[in-house]
Structure 1
Amino acid sequence: MAATELRRRGVPDATVARLPAYLRVLAAMADRGVRSTSSEELAAAVGVHSAKVRKDLSQLGTYGVRGVGYDVQHLSLEISRELGMTREWAVVIVGMGHLGRALAGHRGFFARGFRVAGLFDVDPAVIGERVGELTIQDLADLPGTVRGRDAIGVIATPESAAQQVADALVAAGVSSILNLAGGNLAVPDAVDVRPVEVAAELQILAFLRQRRDFDVDLERVAP
């Protein structure tokens, strides 16, 4: 995967995590007909300091031109190439509950270089159902779908089943996993796992809101 290659080159994980945000902002600029941008404009749109933007992009060997900035189209292509977005990636989703079905119907995948190639579950009650253009398959059929592909696995099961699914994905040759189920997964070192815990993100938002309210209260009582 492209992220693994970036790490091998010494690009910090924090920089890799910000690249999709830069790409999203650049795409919006391109849609508006913007041809060039500055690190300050990118920083304001992403919510970081301009020096961090310049450092992030320099990690990729990309530098703006003084007085001109960055060419939007060229920078988009460079970041897309670094992220592996100049090719199409197959995505397999395991767990066809509400979350898995919502992901399967997400229209934004294709526009960003991803194609949902397979839907899987272990529940006989849902195996064989159609979700959009795909049929839910038995998890046992996973190897046949991912064979010969650089597939990304998405775990959308309950947490109690996540490790079993991760084991099945690894056994099928999947080395990139997005874990939406929560919990820690035991996988080989060569397998990349990105955890996304919605509850934890909500807790962070609650903390930020509480802190902002506290700051407002302090301002009200300040002499």
Structure 2
Amino acid sequence: MATGRTHRPATRSRGIPEATVARLPLYLRALTALSERSVPTVSSEELATAAGVNSAKLRKDFSYLGSYGTRGVGYDVEYLVYQISRELGLTQDWPVVIVGVGNLGAALANYGGFASRGFRVAALLDQDPALTGRTVAGMAVSHTDDLERIVTENGVSIGVITIPAGGAQQVCDRLVAAGVTSILNFAPTVLSVPEGVDVRKVDLSIELQILAFHEQRKAGEDAVTPAADLPVPPHTTPRKGPDGDVPAVMPA
């Protein structure tokens, strides 16, 4: 099976927009669920609902793949699973290294969904000597001193960083120098990488803060008082302006 080092997904060369690429995994997840239920075909409306997008956007996205479905029938589920998997590069074997085997790193290592989606955890690395040799998810943890050797020997092109912010950039630099060209960053910091290296940042605290914003907004909307019932602020008095009666805020 081909490895990630020598093969890259074709999405960029085919001119597929990044926004479309970001939605392809959503479509694939919905299609995989349909396939597991032995559903042969699906309409654009049904698939869009399952993926959480509108049907017009879905049809536009699929047009970049050259897939237009059949009028009155819909899309062939199995073919779309294959087509999207191919575009995402999931028909290849992508060896991945996880740097940082704390709670988050260990949880990722134990995640069973990687293998079924084309990703193989090739190595677990940590700088703590106490963790070296310990078995996590059926794999012995290696020391970060061996990072370059492990990346080279396994043909790794994707690295996952799950360490504190302070050491993330140094680890990132070492991964890139060793040949890694894509990084999934869980550290709460922005990484600087050269052109040609892709970084995807996952910051759980930011996502929670965004949710808190929406919760606060919803709570505020529930407590809104009609404008006519609002009290007049202090130091405010109506006065007649040049265009008629205009409320004006007067200085104290």
Query: Taking structure 1 as the reference length, what is the TM-score of the superposition?
Result: 0.92
User: Which residue in the other structure is 1:151 paired with?
Assistant: 157
From the CA coordinates, give the structure whose radius of gyration is larger.
Answer: 2
Do residues 133 (structure 1) and 143 (structure 2) align?
Answer: no
Number of residue pairs matched by the alignment:
222
Which among 77, 84, 90 is matched to residue 85 of structure 1? 90
Q: Which runs of 5+ in 2 are unaligned?
A: 228-252
User: Which residue in the other structure is 1:99 paired with?
Assistant: 104
In the alignment, residue 131 of structure 1 is paired with which amino acid? V
RMSD: 2.1
Query: Taking structure 2 as the reference length, what is the TM-score of the superposition?
Result: 0.82
Whether the 8 Å contact between 1:153 and 1:176 is mirrored in structure 2 is yes
CA 42–213 in structure 1, closer or farther in 2 if over 3 Å, else same: farther
Do residues 187 (structure 1) and 193 (structure 2) align?
Answer: yes
- Structure-2 separation of matches of 1:5 and 1:188: 21
SS at match of 2:35: helix
- State how 1:191-210 maps to structure 2 within 5 Å: 191-210=197-216
Whether the 8 Å contact between 1:122 and 1:139 is mirrored in structure 2 is yes
In the alignment, residue 175 of structure 2 is paired with which amino acid? L
- State how 1:1-223 maps to structure 2 within 5 Å: 5-147=10-152, 149-217=155-223
The Cα of 1:140 is off from its aligned counterpart by: 2.0
String of CA shifts for 1:20-62, please: whole Å, max 9, x gaps.
Answer: 1100000000111111111111111121111110111111111
Whether the 8 Å contact between 1:87 and 1:113 is mirrored in structure 2 is yes
Whether the 8 Å contact between 1:120 and 1:142 is mirrored in structure 2 is yes
Tell me which protein shows more helix as a share of its residues.
1
Task: Give aligned-pair identity as a percent.
Answer: 55
- Structure-1 separation of matches of 2:221 and 2:47: 28
SS at match of 2:11: helix
